[in-house]
Amino acid sequence: MPADALRFTDILTMAASVASYLAVPDVTPRHLLDALDILEGRVRLEDLGRMRSPLVAVAPAQYGGAEPAVRELTQRWFEQLHSDPEATLASNELAAFRHEVEGLAAAGA
């Protein structure tokens, strides 16, 4: 894998980790952007705020979901990558993916 490429499933896994770290039940566009920043070395997970463990939550919450717009975007991209869990995004694809996610974030999706 080229140094400037990221595996798509790593982006999705990191976004879910960010949401879990912040005790947010559904992955949002912001979590995808944070995941890209973490995987590209721009920020650390710890820089995003104080961890809130689902193991010590005051009220039970469901984790592991995604907002509908995030689910649609990621499923569409996964299909474009031929549903290959090992598929990587090169720098131009990463830029296009980031641009789409930024659009969702700006729209409040």
In whole angstroms, what is the distance from residue 4 CA to residue 93 CA? 10
CB 96 within 8 A of CB 80: no
- Per-residue pLDDT, averaged over 5-32, amounts to 93
The angle that helices 29-39 and 68-80 make with each other, rounded to 10 degrees, is 50
Tell me what pLDDT residue 55 has: 60
Asked if 54 and 20 touch (Cβ cutoff 8 Å), the reply is yes
Tell the residue number behind the tokens 């694809």, with chain if given. 93
Q: Which tokens go with 26?
A: 């559904």
Residue 27 has pLDDT above 70, yes or no: yes
pLDDT for 4: 72
DSSP state of 41: T
Residue spans of alpha helices (H) in 1-109 = 8-21, 29-39, 68-80, 91-107
Q: Give the mean pLDDT of the chain.
A: 88
Q: What band does 54 get if pLDDT is binned at 50, 70 and 90?
A: low
Res. 82: pLDDT tops 80 = yes
Looking at the predicted structure, is the pLDDT value of residue 5 above 80?
yes
Domain limits of the chain? 6-45+66-107
Helix (H) or strand (E) holding 27: strand 26-27
Phi, psi at 27, each rounded to 5°: -70, 135
pLDDT score for 56: 58
